[in-house]
Amino acid sequence: ILNVEQSPQSLHVQEGDSTNFTCSFPSSNFYALHWYRWETAKSPEALFVMTLNGDEKKKGRISATLNTKEGYSYLYIKGSQPEDSATYLCAFKTGGFKTIFGAGTRLFVKA
């Protein structure tokens, strides 16, 4: 059974705070690691697709790193804004055809 774990489950921060979340995944049969952003009443949308050990990706104030050997990825948000409030999902893609999701980290940014 493939297990993808995310922590924390939820997070409350003030506007301007920087924050980070963790995603842990199996280190074997790795193909890709995805991060998705999921706003309330909308569909999940891909933020990053990461494939190589040591990968670092950045989109504006959001960045992510990947360690495939130890099976973890971090998502960082610098200077959080209220519009960053969402659930952030990570998903582990095996060499087969399955993409397995973690339960997500729900971020609340207070103005």
In angstroms, what is the minimal distance from the CB of 37 to other proteins? 11
Helix (H, G, I), strand (E, B) or coil at 64: strand
Give min distance, CB of 88 to other proteins, in A.
Answer: 11
- For other proteins, the binding residues in 55-94 under the rule CB under 8 A are 89, 91, 93
Q: What is the DSSP string of 54-101?
A: T-EEEETTEEEEEETTTTEEEEEESS--GGG-EEEEEEEEESSS-EEE
Task: Tell me which stretch binds other proteins (CB under 8 A): 4-12, 18-26, 65-73, 76-84.
Answer: 4-12
- Between strands 86-94 and 105-110, the pairing is antiparallel
Chain residues that interact with other proteins, rule: CB under 8 A: 4, 6, 9, 31-32, 34, 36, 42-46, 49, 51, 89, 91, 93, 96-104
